[in-house]
Amino acid sequence: MRIVVTGAAGMLGVDVCAAAAEAGFDVHGLARAELDITDAGAVGAAISRLSPEVIVNCAAWTDVDGAESGYEEALAVNGVGAGFLARAAADAGAWVVHVSSDYVFDGSKSSPYVESDAVGPLSGYGRSKLAGEREVAAAAPDSHTIVRSSWLFGTGGHCFPKTILRIAGERDMITVVDDQVGCPTFTGHLAGALLSLAAQRVPGVVHVAGGGECSWFEFASEIVSSAGLDCEVQPGTTAAMERPAPRPAYSVLRSERGAGVPSLPDWHEGLRAFMSARVGAR
């Protein structure tokens, strides 16, 4: 299977490229410096030249707070650019796998969000990701998989565990919010699931996230404990943090789709894999 991975230098893109190569696929990773997905002409030319069977779109604007003041820039990548890729995929007869987010939901539920639940993003980032879903579905109506995932972390980029490890190594005490609950998802696990969905050509929207659920406070506490750091983790509130972008209070994702949709390991297992990979890289 010939695969093009956009956003190949990012945290998820690195793992998708590695998983594809390990599986024996013919993979072509395109970092942002090699392909700006907001340039429709460049996208069309690259896809025409590479003639992929599958495009996995990992290119994204990921600065949630920055999207409040820079919404047009976020929309250009997460929305319009995703549509350019999907259109090029459809023209080339390729299947497109597009990665979306739990932030398309408002977080008002107290039970896991499934694919048929109503969307209602609270933030500019969430609106840009929802726009991307709609652009992809419109541009490649018969040849797309939209994968909503959440709280991504991995060894190949900036992420919550790396931030916690750094500041916990510098301080005696840190405060982390305990009123946002979700599913931490290790990109090393998600990468294989994306390839599985591509190989099966699973259509439409699917939810794929780490098993279990926790608050950011619980996640941080487990990170600090796993690293054996002497730092106290205290619970705090979202209101006290005064971040520019509102976050969903509850955004646990589960799938109602049944057969063909991969289930990922529990987030604790993802964290163990992350910590082990970091140790092995030293």
Which sequence spans correspond to the domains of the chain? 2-159+183-211+252-265
CATH class of domain segment(s) 2-159+183-211+252-265: alpha beta
pLDDT tens-digit readout, 8-42: 999 999 999 999 999 999 999 999 999 999 999 99
> Structure tokens of 109?
């539920």
Q: What pTM was estimated for this model as a whole?
A: 0.96
Give the span between the Cα atoms of 147 and 133, in whole angstroms: 9
> Structure tokens of 146?
């939209």
As a residue count, the chain comes to 282
CA distances to 114, 121, 130 from 118, in Å: 9, 10, 12
pLDDT value at 281 more than 80: no
CA distances to 39, 78, 89, 190, 209 from 140, in Å: 18, 16, 7, 23, 24
Average pLDDT of span 207-229? 97
What percentage of residues in the chain have a pLDDT greater than 90? Answer: 95
Q: Which of 71, 113, 125, 250 is catalytic?
A: 125
Residue 241 binned pLDDT confidence (cut-offs 50, 70, 90): confident
Q: Is 71 a catalytic residue?
A: no
State the pLDDT at residue 278.
78
Q: Beta-strand (E) ranges in 178-242? A: 181-182, 185-186, 204-207, 214-215, 232-236
Pair 207, 113: CB distance under 8 Å = yes
Mean pLDDT rounded to a whole number for the chain: 96
pLDDT value at 51 more than 70: yes
Closest listed residue to residue 110, CA positions, set 216, 249, 263: 249
